[in-house]
Amino acid sequence: MTLPPDPALARLKARVADIPLGAKAEEIGTVLAIGDGLATVAGLPGARLNEILEFPGGTLGFVLSLEEEVLHAAFLDPVIGVGAGDRVIRRDALLSVPVGEALLGRVVDPLGRPLDGLPAPDAAERLPTERPAPSIIERDFVSEPVETGLLVVDALFAVGRGQRELIIGERQTGKTAIAVDAIINQAGSDLVCIYVAIGQRMTAVRRVIEAIHGRGASGLTIVVMAEATAEPGLRWLAPFAATSMAEWFRDRGRHALIVYDDLTKHAATHRELALLSGQPPGREAFPGDIFYLHARLLERSAKLSAARGGGSLTALPIAEIEAGNLSAYIPTNLISISDGQIVTSATLFAANQRPAVDIGLSVSRVGGKAQWGAVKSQAGRLRLDYAQYLEMKMFARFGGFGDAAMKARMARGERIGALLAQDRFAPLATVTQIALLLALNEGHLDEVPPDRIPALKSVLPDILAAEPVLDTLRARPEKLDDAERSALLAAVRTALDRP
């Protein structure tokens, strides 16, 4: 008697036949030494840079540098109960982060793990943390502005979408405030913002998060955080991981802005890890690849060509200097790989000129091409006039100027200073900026006492908003026609007439 063939048995046989029964080589490494967030591992000849390794207890790390016999891995988790002699296995995967819409509004660590007490972001996609920068063919010229809402930036050192503008200055001179104000001004715009905190105190990051979330800018913002007490590996990874999160938007034809706060601390982390892994120290004890590290990071910010969707990623890296020394190693590196710098000055900050932007040392190498036409035409002489005023002011200390023309210039300069000063969290819409600059250029502010200017700035937006003639200017401030000019000046007069 023959049994009918059993279909279940046939399926089972087919499955068993597919299982490779031969020997399978698996690399198992051994921890040789552990120190300060770094492990030296032997026995993983196949491991690649940025590959994820698993230590006992599920502790994760990644390959930071390779030598002939050993490799150095940086930990991504607190190192508890890992010691010399422990086994290390390869996860056979490179470092990657969750990306996409789901991250908006969230506070995450550099691996995309939640830090805001909410469940992990529900992201369907992942991207590697190291990605090549767009090639020349894939890029386009920077042509649209990022509106920061800060008059001193938008008028004098405009930042274009796709540009890299360094914010550099001594500690506590309002560097973070400039970047955070730029983020807050995006409430209601199409620009996705990513704020990356590297090696900062927890309280400082908290203040930034509260500022962003308390002012309606959280919907399009991602905060990536690797604070001072985070594993060095996480601090090292933070800017790269956050850039991948930003690129997801850039590559879909959207626009993103990323703030690295700050790259001086990132450089210090890189030095720490390099020295611990025995790399030869170079200038200021930084390893030789520090320039390449930040160059490859900032090159990922770009304006993409129409064929690639026309998206953009703008970078505002922040760097700290000591004693005003812009020519130290890391600052000069960063200056040379960005498209300009906004320099904050401790002297101006102490003299209550805030934002404390040093007009003489700051520059934007592409911004003018991206500036709105109407802003550009009104801001034309501003920088020169203000620089001349600052110079004359120095000499005026030695004795007054009798000359009427000189006096007029001094008066104009003083008003420019008052216009450029701006409180935190008080962004000015582009149309308000144009109205103020126009009034200044036409001499309407020359008789106004400088201490009246803050009040002018606070009442003007509402008066302008009630002006339907300005609708086209609000939508696209490319040029001013006569009707718009007179509407703007009338609004300024109305504002000045208010008690």
Ligand X SMILES: Nc1ncnc2c1ncn2[C@@H]1O[C@H](COP(=O)(O)OP(=O)(O)OP(=O)(O)O)[C@@H](O)[C@H]1O
Q: Which of residues 355-374 bind ligand X (CB under 6 A)?
A: 355
Contact pick of 423, 446, 478, 481 for ligand X (by CB under 6 A): 423
Contacts with Mg ion, 141-180, as mask; x by CB under 5 A: -----------------------------------x----
Q: Which two tokens stand for residue 309?
A: 């969707």
Nearer to ligand X, 103 or 420 (CB): 420
| E strand or H helix that includes residue 426 | none
Question: Pick from 63, 457, 43: which is nearest to 236 by CA?
Answer: 63
Kindly report each contact of residues 401-404 with a partner whose C-beta sits within 8 Å and lies 24 or more positions away, as own/partner.
Answer: none
* Residue tagged active-site, from 365, 383, 474, 485: 365
Contacts with Mg ion, 174-213, as mask; x by CB under 5 A: --x-------------------------------------
User: Per rule CB under 6 A, is residue 320 in the interface with ligand X?
Assistant: yes
Least distance in angstroms from the C-beta of 204 to ligand X: 6
CB neighbour list of residue 366: distance below 8 Å, 6 or more residues apart: 142, 160, 163, 339, 340
Contact pick of 112, 121, 160, 174 for ligand X (by CB under 6 A): 174
Stretch that binds ligand X, among 167-175, 267-275, 296-304, 434-442 (CB under 6 A): 167-175
Nearer to ligand X, 416 or 487 (CB): 416
For residue 90, give the amino acid letter. R
Phi first, then psi, for residue 94 (nearest 5°) are -85, 160
Q: Which two tokens stand for residue 160?
A: 């274009």
Residue nearest to Mg ion (CB): 176
Phi first, then psi, for residue 88 (nearest 5°) are -130, 130
| E strand or H helix that includes residue 134 | none
Residue 424 contacts which entry, Mg ion, ligand X, none (Cβ below 5-8 A, type-dependent): ligand X
User: Per rule CB under 6 A, is residue 173 in the interface with ligand X?
Assistant: yes
Burial of 422 (0-12, 13-18, 19+ CB in 10 A): buried
Residue 239 zone, left/alpha/beta (φ > 0; ψ -120 to 50; rest): alpha
Q: Is 139 a catalytic residue?
A: no
Q: How far apart are CA 308 and CA 316, in angstroms?
A: 23
Contact pick of 11, 48, 171, 498 for ligand X (by CB under 6 A): 171
User: Per rule CB under 5 A, is residue 344 in the interface with Mg ion?
Assistant: no
Strand, coil or helix: 152: helix
Nearer to Mg ion, 40 or 341 (CB): 341
Least distance in angstroms from the C-beta of 258 to ligand X: 16
Compute how many residues bind Mg ion; rule: CB under 5 A. Answer: 1
Nearer to Mg ion, 172 or 347 (CB): 172
Compute how many residues bind ligand X; rule: CB under 6 A. Answer: 13
CB neighbour list of residue 183: distance below 8 Å, 6 or more residues apart: 193, 195, 212, 217, 221, 257, 259
Nearer to Mg ion, 265 or 415 (CB): 265
Q: Which two tokens stand for residue 161?
A: 């979408």
Contacts with ligand X, 322-361, as mask; x by CB under 6 A: --------------------------------xx------
Three-class SS string for 51-78? EEEECHHHCEEEEEEECCCEEEEEECCC
Q: What is the dihedral of CA 244, 247, 249, 251, to 10 degrees?
A: -130
Nearer to Mg ion, 135 or 203 (CB): 203
Q: How far apart are CA 386 and CA 362, in angstroms?
A: 13
Contact pick of 59, 221, 333, 422 for ligand X (by CB under 6 A): 422
Within a 10 A sphere around the Cβ of 307, how many other Cβ atoms? Answer: 9
User: Per rule CB under 6 A, is residue 175 in the interface with ligand X?
Assistant: yes
Q: Which residues bind ligand X (CB under 6 A)?
A: 171-177, 320, 354-355, 422-424
Give catalytic residues, as residue numbers: 365
Q: Which residues bind Mg ion (CB under 5 A)?
A: 176
